[in-house]
Structure 1
Amino acid sequence: MIKTTLAISTLAACGTFSSALAQDTSPVTIAGFGTAALTKTNNDLGEFARTGQAAGAGKDARTGVDSDFGVQATAKWNDQISFTAQGLARKHGDTDQYTAELAWAFAKFKANDDFSVRLGRIGLPIYMISDSRNIGFANTMLRPPTEVYQQVPLDNANGGDVIYQHSFGDTTATAQFALGVAKDHSRGGTTVNSSSQVASLTLENGPFTYRLGHARANVSVHSPALEQLVAGVKAARLGIADQLNVIDFTGKFTSLGLIMDYKNVLAQAEYAKRKTDTRLIPDTTSWYLMLGYRWGAFVPYYVHGNAKQDSIRSFSGLPTTGPLAALSAGVNGAIKAGLQTTDAVGLRWDFYKSAAFKVQIDRVRPRDGAGYFINTQPGFSGPVTVYAAAVDFVF
């Protein structure tokens, strides 16, 4: 199934997912994908959610956590020029509602067999499965591991990229360099603006795929809560305001990935580091490993993910008593990243050529806080068991 992942991801990136209709002078391809899922947990004091969601699942099963629907159309002008647009509906943003977004909208110029250029709204190639992370059918796992894919919440950017692809013997190399500006709206009225540069190199050789990526961005976070916190620190003259900048700071993200599809054995792993020059977006190290075995139409699999913080989790010397104690607690709470470990087992069943049924059970263990659970209430603690079932399809 990882071969399917790579094929769909590559086709999607090239804007030739599948063909549904064509015209003599301007061929058009239309394709779609979706996931219909139910997700629940065994804990009502916190909600399990995916990146960028305002609400998640508790003990009551919900459809919105892992469900989405997308349609992609590509119009080919000639052998060199094409236009691609992808619409995506999902629960994402500052309200707990399904919203429609224009995920991709770009023009592509193919200079020759090796070089191509895309301009418009493109997917940011930050992760191993950036192009296919919303296409459930393209992935063995029911969802990308939160520990890694929570670190950079941006899916796309307005800008462009240059792609070079060439085969050297049995190895195919793909190099990509992208530039773009992006905006993301998340819960609590927070808006993230980013100007990013991303470079990646992918090598494919037989059953193995290796990927190295690096992103650098100038970022501004507009958050009423953070802005009020920083204003309080400045007014109290605590001497740490220069470490709490949320406007025009620099962030870096480096990831290394591996995919293997050898005979019936599947493996996928990704290791990532995030570094910034503000303590309000902590430095982190995250990784995951997936192992699976293909048994006819069935793929049982296991996933382990982990996220830890590399920067400080508290400022020493801040007042812990008196009128500034609450402000100190707020600051030390704000500079803590979510820490958690997840062990998951799942089963994928390809019951139809373009549809798969999946079940997955995650055991999530937050550390020193709520991890990546949201809307938590007093008394919340882990571990938390997350149950999910989904039907993934493409057409």
Structure 2
Amino acid sequence: MHAATRAADGDLPAWTFGGFGTVSAVHSTEKLADYTASPLSPGQAGYGKHWAVDVDSRLGAQLGVQLDKRWSAVVQVVSERNVEHNYKPEVEWANVKYRATPDLSLRLGRIALPLYLAADYRKASYALPWVRPPVELYSTMPISNSDGFDASYRWNLAGTKQTTQVFFGRTSIRLSRDFDAKAKRMVGLTQRTTAGALTVQATAANAIFQVPAGGELFDVLSQFGPAGQALAARYDIRSKRVSVFSAGFTYDPGAWFVTGEIGRTNTRSLLGDQTASYLSGGYRFGALTPYATFSAVHANMDVQVAGLPTTGLPPQVAALALQANAVLNDFLREVPTQHAISAGVRWDAGPSHAFKLQLERARPHDGSSGTLTNAQPGYQSGKSFNVISLSADFVF
């Protein structure tokens, strides 16, 4: 209360505290795999549960302080389901900001990665028109922050507002219970242009992505001469350069909106090379906002390969080669190729909470399991499935 009073009086330091959350329920008609919004926050709608509450449900809190006219700091903590199947809170942001000039700002610490339009609020679903960002694009690069430094400079050009941001950093993530990954030497550039109701943004970034414990398959492949060594070099995930490019726009004059993005994520490894995009629009009728979205992701690589040749190999060696081929193709099947169409409605029931209903029809193809996870024996690519999502979003 004392901090709030001091902030209201204009004294410094001025503290702010707030938060956001989502409670959701999701049903998928695909019973041999699970629908999920992010591979780092896997849900269980479909095979796991008839109705799942873990696809989008999360809680976040943010503490900020304005120390003086130049210095400020922020910490944001988010709790959502992770790959270890618990809701352990994680620090999403934790950085110090220095405003060197009215137009130049520098930040140091854990910072949101500006890879997509919704980078700053992708987990605060109240700020989104949809239940969740289109998974076909946003699940291809689920990393949302980095530990490092960024600089943002604001400038004007021909009546437009420009913001140029450069960032450097690194991050560590848990891919599964068995695999940890690191993104090192991350560097990127984001350019944002605003002209009235139109915002356009483009980002290019590179990093060295490493999965140190993920080498068993590639060691086996390398034992099979030049053919195996070529497969290992192509798909090895232990250390590869990853590049991301994205571009998007939002036009929102108030009564309606249209927004779209396209992005390519190339890991140069088993983790995939994908191009994804979406286009979405909606109209606001008072407290109700109906909307529709078309989204797609395409693998710029084969998601099924012949693998190691087995002709002429001794039976035991051939059996090992066939097993390695099967494991390789199981992983490649997880590189998403899918298109989807969705429609929904948002009801702003009050100034700090909203309810949403979203219906989606998606179809993985080309042998891929799309954005689904936990595919079971008997799963067939090429079959459409439906998703029903109900959510309540709130801020405080």
How does the TM-score come out when normalised to structure 2? 0.89
Aligned to 2:315: none
Aligned to 1:199: 189
Structure 1 Cα separation of the partners of residues 374 and 65 of structure 2: 43
Q: 1:79 and 2:69 equivalent? A: yes
Overall identity of the aligned pairs, in %: 28
Q: 1:266 and 2:257 equivalent? A: yes
After the TM superposition, which residues 1-395 of structure 1 pair with which residues of structure 2 at under 5 Å, given as runs? 22=6, 24-51=11-38, 52-58=40-46, 59-92=49-82, 94-168=83-157, 170-195=159-184, 196-223=186-213, 226-237=214-225, 238-240=228-230, 241-278=232-269, 280-316=270-306, 318-319=308-309, 322-323=318-319, 324-336=321-333, 337-367=335-365, 368-381=367-380, 382-395=383-396
Structure 2 Cα separation of the partners of residues 21 and 313 of structure 1: 59
Give structure 1 stretches of 5+ with no counterpart.
1-18
Larger CA deviation: 369-378 vs 153-162: 369-378
Structure 1 Cα separation of the partners of residues 95 and 250 of structure 2: 28
Structure 1 Cα separation of the partners of residues 344 and 373 of structure 2: 24
Structure 2 Cα separation of the partners of residues 21 and 100 of structure 1: 29
Query: Structure 1 263/101 Cα, relative in aligned 2: closer, same or farther at 3 Å?
Result: closer
Alpha-carbon displacement from aligned partner over 1:187-211 (angstroms, at most 9, x marks no partner): 2422120021121001111111100
Structure 2 Cα separation of the partners of residues 340 and 320 of structure 1: 32
Alpha-carbon displacement from aligned partner over 1:252-294 (angstroms, at most 9, x marks no partner): 110010101135221110001122333x132211101111111
Structure 2 Cα separation of the partners of residues 63 and 44 of structure 1: 16
Structure 1 Cα separation of the partners of residues 386 and 268 of structure 2: 35
Alpha-carbon displacement from aligned partner over 1:47-67 (angstroms, at most 9, x marks no partner): 111211244212521221111
Misfit runs of 4+, over 6 Å:
none
Q: Is the 8 A contact 1:41 1:48 kept in 2?
A: yes
Q: What do you get for the CA RMSD once the two structures are aligned?
A: 1.9
Shift in Å at residue 21 of structure 1? 5.5
Q: Secondary structure at the match of 2:272?
A: coil
Query: Structure 1 57/205 Cα, relative in aligned 2: closer, same or farther at 3 Å?
Result: same
Give structure 2 stretches of 5+ with no counterpart.
312-317
- How many residues align? The count is 373
Shift in Å at residue 394 of structure 1? 1.2
Query: Structure 1 22/222 Cα, relative in aligned 2: closer, same or farther at 3 Å?
Result: farther
Q: Is the 8 A contact 1:88 1:100 kept in 2?
A: yes
Q: Secondary structure at the match of 1:262?
A: coil
Alpha-carbon displacement from aligned partner over 1:146-201 (angstroms, at most 9, x marks no partner): 11111112111111100111344641111111111101112242212002112100
**Structure with max Cα Rg:** 2
Query: Structure 1 260/236 Cα, relative in aligned 2: closer, same or farther at 3 Å?
Result: same
One-letter amino acid of the structure 2 residue matched with residue 386 of structure 1: V
Alpha-carbon displacement from aligned partner over 1:329-386 (angstroms, at most 9, x marks no partner): 3223433411111111110011101111101111121111311211111222431211
Query: Structure 1 21/338 Cα, relative in aligned 2: closer, same or farther at 3 Å?
Result: farther
Q: Secondary structure at the match of 1:239?
A: helix
Structure 2 Cα separation of the partners of residues 38 and 81 of structure 1: 41
